[in-house]
Amino acid sequence: MTTNYRAFAVGLLLCLSSSANSVDLVINRDIDYESLSRNTLRSIFSMRMTQWPNGKPIRVFVMGDKTSQHADFSKHVLGVFPHQLRRAWNRQIYSGMGQAPMKVNTESEMLEQIENTPGAIGYLTEDYINERVRKLSVE
């Protein structure tokens, strides 16, 4: 029993700590959305959906596969592992069916790109989000 409680407490702690650092979906302010569905997000981040309903190109920004931000976004928002997403990109890139997302190295760079690139979409932790980008909820 004790072990069970301990495991539960550790699990709870892990959940809390990861949600404290969790990332949110952000887009360039010119895209007029308040929320997007998880299925639409999956199409966007697997690089299969290439334009917003107003016809503007979608510019996808991601951080490295092994960063905690990318892992968190993949697993908790999209519901897939980073290696699955990477494979989906590779399948498109090397068959001529699609392109790779743009990679940024830091959250500051992510913020700058989302702010300045029309049609941009990415993710940021709470601390980096400001009024120059639009934070979206996931349906």
Partner 1 sequence: MSVYGSSPLNKCWAMRLLALLLLSVNGLSASQLDQLDGALQVHGFLTQAYVKTTENSFFGDSQDGSWDFRELGINSSYRFTPSTMASVQLLSRRAGEMYDGSLDLDYAQLDSTIYTADANRVGIIVGRYKNPFGLYNDTRDVAATRPGIFMPQAIYWDRVRNMVLSNDGAQLFGDMQVDEHRFSIRLIGGKTPIDENVEKSYLNPLVDPEMEQDGLTLGGRLLYEWDGGRFNLAYSSAQLTLDAETSMLPDGEIEIDYRVLSAQYNSGSWSLTLEYMQEPLNYSGFGGVMDAGDTTLDGYYLQGTYRLWDDLELFARYEESHYDKEDKRGKKTAQRLGLEAHNFYSRVSTLGLLWEVTEGLIVRSEFSQVDGTIFLSNLENPPPNERSRNWNLFSLLVSYSF
Question: Is residue 78 near partner 1 by the rule CB under 8 A?
Answer: yes
d(CA 29, CA 137): 14
Residue closer to partner 1 by CB (options 20, 55) is 55
Question: Is residue 66 near partner 1 by the rule CB under 8 A?
Answer: yes
Question: Is residue 102 near partner 1 by the rule CB under 8 A?
Answer: yes
Residue closer to partner 1 by CB (options 24, 109) is 109
Question: Is residue 15 near partner 1 by the rule CB under 8 A?
Answer: no
Binding residues for partner 1, rule: CB under 8 A, are: 38-40, 42-43, 46, 48-51, 53, 55-59, 64-66, 75, 78-84, 86-88, 90-91, 93-97, 99-103, 117
